[in-house]
Structures are given as structure tokens and as C-alpha cells.
Amino acid sequence: MKFGKKAIAAVGSLAMLGSIAACGSNSGNANSGSASSDGKVTLTVWAWDSTIPRTVKGFEAANPNIKVKIVNAGTSKDEYTALSNAMQAGSGAPDMAQIEYYALPEYVTRGYMQNVADNGAKDFGDFYTPGTWASVSLNGGVYGLPMDSGPMAWFYNKEVFDKAGVDPTQVKSWDEFYEAAKKIRATGSYITSDSGDAGFFDSMTWQNGAKPFDTSSDGKTVTINLTGDDKVKGFVDWWQKLISEDLIDTKTAGWTDDWNKGLDNGSIASLLIGAWMPYNLLSGAPNGDGKWRVTQMPTSDGQPAGSESGGSSLGIIKSDDKAKVDAAYKYLEYVTHNKEGIATRVEAGAFPADNNTLNSPDFLNVTSITDADGKAHEYFGGQKFNEELATAAKNVRAGYKFLPFEVYARGKFGDFVGKSFTDKQKLSDGVKAWQDDIVSYAKQQGYSVKE
């Protein structure tokens, strides 16, 4: 080596030279935790859900040969991106991953997910709510198990509604909601906010009974019919009215600091959102403590109906390593099916997907939520909010299907429909443009498309 010691000393500050030289000879240090000789297995799990890490302790105590490493590889789309990358590259993928229901069909289609039906999961059908079970039972297999669910419910700030003289429990139909929105607007607040959210759009059309997407049983033909579906149109027309008359806040993007402030001070008076919201409200809108309540969603005809928003499955990434898959299944079972595992997560704010918990008095009678410091808050003023949410879970309409490339489609929603919220474009025109883009994408990807 010409890099003599003296020479290195001469640039003392640049002492990293040694490590660069070492870089060439260092290899074989990259394993993603496979079964080692002593029978110990390390599982890498990608999940952003904050309740998942809590299950590790209990699981490892019961399974001393399995070590679980939870990695937050990004939220939702960021994680899927990383997962696709790693799968494409054939290295760096985790052993298990949290995948939202809407994204699961895509990764099953791509062949990333392990079918766990024969590990015992095929008998779990009655254990979960019908909606969540349908979301993981795809193409005749079971590709993951439900971690949580997010039936849509109406969370509202009672103080603001009282001021406007509106009682949301009496607001059943979309028309009544529209009238309520006007009264709320008269107080200066907005009844809710939406600046173009694909998930919300999906949930609302789903609730209205729309079935815009379908995939043929051989997986090669997709139906994309947003523009021709009456139920989609029903939602679009109603929502357009609220946007045009400035009855909903289209200037505040969801999940921003401004949004939290709006919820905190009552300028955004209510939310149509998934049942997992209570903990977010407590941490994001602390001043709403005691003022908020929950009730059922308004529907187009006033009859009870529901849909899901969000909610995730936990799945095993396809692998030939049987020992690995078996270990992963054990953890999967613990998190999603084991009583103790589920309870650990529900305590921390996860909204359950299993019937036992949804029907248990312990769960239904809860009136307070616990913050990060362990302090209990009667955020909903003593209301048994889980009772309302469990009812919402039962009302979820069956049979809604996601696209096999829903992640892409949702990513593009904002590009085309966003302008309907911030600009003068009509909502229906935005939806039309969105449909055109999804259709051309599907064709590029080799699908036959029915519109």
C-alpha cells in the first residue's frame, strides 16, 4: 500500500482513509436475519402502527426462540414503495409487513404475499368481522390476517353543534347533513374538511353502495366504472353542493398542523372518519377533551349503512424458508388472533377487527382513553363511544372491491380530482379525468379493461 502511516498522519483530520480501504474487503455482513444454527429465528417486521411494538414483549416471553424486530419503514405509501423496491431487488425485504386492506390485492397480485390458509388461518372466518375477513381472503387463499379495522363513524364537537342548534344523532340523511352544514357555517365554523382525499372518496362511495371496481377471477380483466356508477354519482353530486356553497373547509389539508388546530379550536366541527380516530383526537386536539361525541354516519337515504376507512392486515412475505414462515405465522397469530395479543393493542388504541372483542362488555363499556403519559381522559364526555363504533362496524356493506393497483390509483386521485376542491373544476369532471388515467395505466400494465 502506498498509503503509508506517515502519509495518513500528515492529514490527521482525514483519518477515515483506513475505513475506506476496509470497505473493499468487507462483505458478507448483510443478512436479513434467517434461522441460525442454534434454532433461533429473528423476524423483521415492517409496521408503522404504534401499537405493534407493544406485542413484542409478550410474544417473545412465550416464544423464547423467536426474536421480533419491528421497523418503521415509513407510513403507508412510503412503506409500500420500500417493499416493492426490496422485492424487485430480491434483497432487503422484511419477513412480515403491515399492509392496508386497500393495498393488499396489489401485493397478492404481484406474488409478494405468503398464503397462510394452510397454516391454520383458513378456519378463522368467523373470528373476524365479515368486511375485514373478505379483505384478506383473496384469490381463494388467506394472505394475511386483520390487525384492526376502521368502520366509518361521525365524530363531532358537541359544543359547536349545540351553538348551531343541531343534534347530529337526529341527522340521518345526506340532505339533513347538508342543512346541518349550513347552520354550522352560520356560526363561522365548517362542518368538516376535505381537500381531496382518495381514501375518503372510496369510503363514501362504498358506503353509498357503489361498486366501481372489479377484477375478473383470472385476474386479467379489470372493470373501472366510476363515471357510470349511479352510486358514485350520488355522492359526487351531494359533495359538490357542499363544496360549491362553501360548507366544507377545502383549504385545510387533512393531517396537517392546521387541521389539528382546526379540530382543536372547533373551526372544523366534525369528521366523517374511521373508528381509530379517538386517540388521534386526544393527541391532536387536546382542547376538545370532553366536548366530542360519536354517532352513526349520515347516509343518502337515511338508512344505516357503513364502510371501512383504513384498517390494516399483517402479512407474511413469501418465502421458501419453512422455519421462517412457521415462526412468522406464530407471531402473526399472536398479534391478530391471540386474546392477549389483541388486548395489548386494543388497550393502546387499536380498533379491533375480531367479533369477540367487538362484543365484549369490557370493550363496549369504555368511557375514557389514556394518553401517552398514562392519564385517562373522558374525551367523549362519558359516552360509551365504543358501543357506537361497534355498531358502525356491523353496518359495513359487504362486497366492495379494490383495484389490483389501488396504491397507484389513489396516488393519482389528487392529481386529477384535487383541482375540484381548490379550483373551479367540477368534481364529476375530476373523477372522469381520474378514471381516464387509471384506465390507461391498466392497459399499459397489460390488463383488459371494461369501463
Partner 1 sequence: MSTPTTTATAQSAAQVNRHKADWRGWKFMWPFAAVFAFVFIIPIAYAIYISFFQQRLIGGNVFVGVDNYTRLFQDQQFWTAVGRVALFTVVQVPIMLFLAAALALAIDSMKLHGTKFFRIATFLPYAVPAVVSTLIWGFAYGAKYGLVGSFNSFFGTNFDAFAPSVLLASIGNIVTWEFTGYNMLIFYSSLSTIPHSLYEAASIDGASEWDIVKSIKLPELRGSLAITVIFSIIGSFQLFNEPSILQNMVPGNAITTNYTPNMYAYNLSFSGNQSNYAAAMAIVMAVITMVIAYAVQLRSMKDQMK
Partner 2 sequence: MTEKTMSASMTAAEKERAAKKAEKLRQKRVAADEKAERKRSAKAGFANVNNPRRSLTLTILSAIFAVYCLFPFAYLLINSTKTQADFSSTFGLGPGHSFAFFDNVAKVFTYNDGIFTRWLLNTLLYVVVGAGGATLLAIMGGYALAKFRFPGRKAVFAIIIGSISVPGIALAVPQFLLFAKLGLTNTPWAMLIPSLISPFGLYLMWIFSEQSVPTELLEAARVDGASEWHTFWKISLPLLSPGIVTTALFTIVATWNNYFLPMIMIKDSDWYPLTIGLNQWKSQAATAGGIPIQNLVITGSLITIIPLVIAFLCLQRYWQSGLAAGAVKE
Applying CB under 8 A, the residues found at the interface with partner 2 are 2, 6-7, 10-11, 13-17, 19-20, 23, 26-30, 32, 46, 48-51, 71-76, 78, 82, 85-86, 88-92, 148, 150, 255, 257, 260-261, 264-265, 274, 276-277, 279-280, 283-287, 310, 348-351, 372
Per DSSP bridges, beta strands 270-274 and 145-146 are unpaired
Residue 286 interacts with, from partner 1, partner 2, none (CB under 5-8 Å by kind)? partner 2
Q: Are 312 and 185 in contact (CB under 8 A)?
A: no
Amino acid identity for residue 208 in this structure? N
The reply on whether position 446 binds partner 1 by CB under 8 A is yes
**Helix-helix angle 406-417:198-207, to 10 degrees:** 100
Least Cβ distance, residue 26 to partner 1 (angstroms): 15
Q: Decide whether 177 or 190 has the Cβ nearer to partner 1.
A: 190
Amino acid identity for residue 247 in this structure? L
Angle at alpha carbon of residue 334, lines to 330 and 357, rounded to 5°: 150
C-alpha torsion angle, residues 170, 172, 175, 176 (rounded to 10) = 10
The reply on whether position 211 binds partner 1 by CB under 8 A is no
Residue 267 interacts with, from partner 2, partner 1, none (CB under 5-8 Å by kind)? partner 1
The reply on whether position 112 binds partner 1 by CB under 8 A is no
The reply on whether position 415 binds partner 1 by CB under 8 A is yes
Amino acid identity for residue 209 in this structure? G
Choosing from 407, 427, 431, 438, the residue that interacts with partner 1 (CB under 8 A) is: 407
Q: Are 149 and 392 in contact (CB under 8 A)?
A: no
The reply on whether position 252 binds partner 1 by CB under 8 A is yes
369/385 Cα distance (integer angstroms): 10
Per-residue mark of binding to partner 1, 426-445 (x: CB under 8 A): ---------------x--xx
Nearest to 424 by CA among 284, 250, 225: 250
The reply on whether position 216 binds partner 1 by CB under 8 A is no
Residue 244 interacts with, from partner 2, partner 1, none (CB under 5-8 Å by kind)? none
Q: Applying CB under 8 A, which part among 73-81, 138-146, 292-300, 338-346 lies near partner 1?
A: 73-81
Residue 303 interacts with, from partner 1, partner 2, none (CB under 5-8 Å by kind)? none
Residue appearing with cell numbers 394452510: 118
Structure-block grid coordinates of residue 54:
407493544
The reply on whether position 408 binds partner 1 by CB under 8 A is yes
Choosing from 40, 57, 220, 450, the residue that interacts with partner 1 (CB under 8 A) is: 220
129/132 Cα distance (integer angstroms): 6
Residue 219 interacts with, from partner 2, partner 1, none (CB under 5-8 Å by kind)? partner 1
Choosing from 54, 318, 337, 412, the residue that interacts with partner 1 (CB under 8 A) is: 412
342/119 Cα distance (integer angstroms): 19
Instruction: State how far the alpha carbon of 281 is from the alpha carbons of 268, 275, 380, in Å.
Output: 12, 11, 10
Burial 332-368 (b: 16+ CB within 10 A, else e): bbbbbbbeebbbbbbebbbbbbbbebbebeebbebbe
Number of residues that bind partner 1 (CB under 8 A): 43
Q: Are 154 and 385 in contact (CB under 8 A)?
A: no
Q: Applying CB under 8 A, which part among 45-53, 177-185, 257-265, 338-346 lies near partner 1?
A: 257-265
Least Cβ distance, residue 246 to partner 1 (angstroms): 13
Helix ranges (H only) for 289-337 are 322-336
Binding stretches for partner 1 (CB under 8 A): 77, 80-81, 84-85, 88, 109-110, 195-196, 219-220, 250-253, 255-258, 261-262, 267, 404-405, 407-408, 411-415, 417-419, 421-423, 441, 444-447
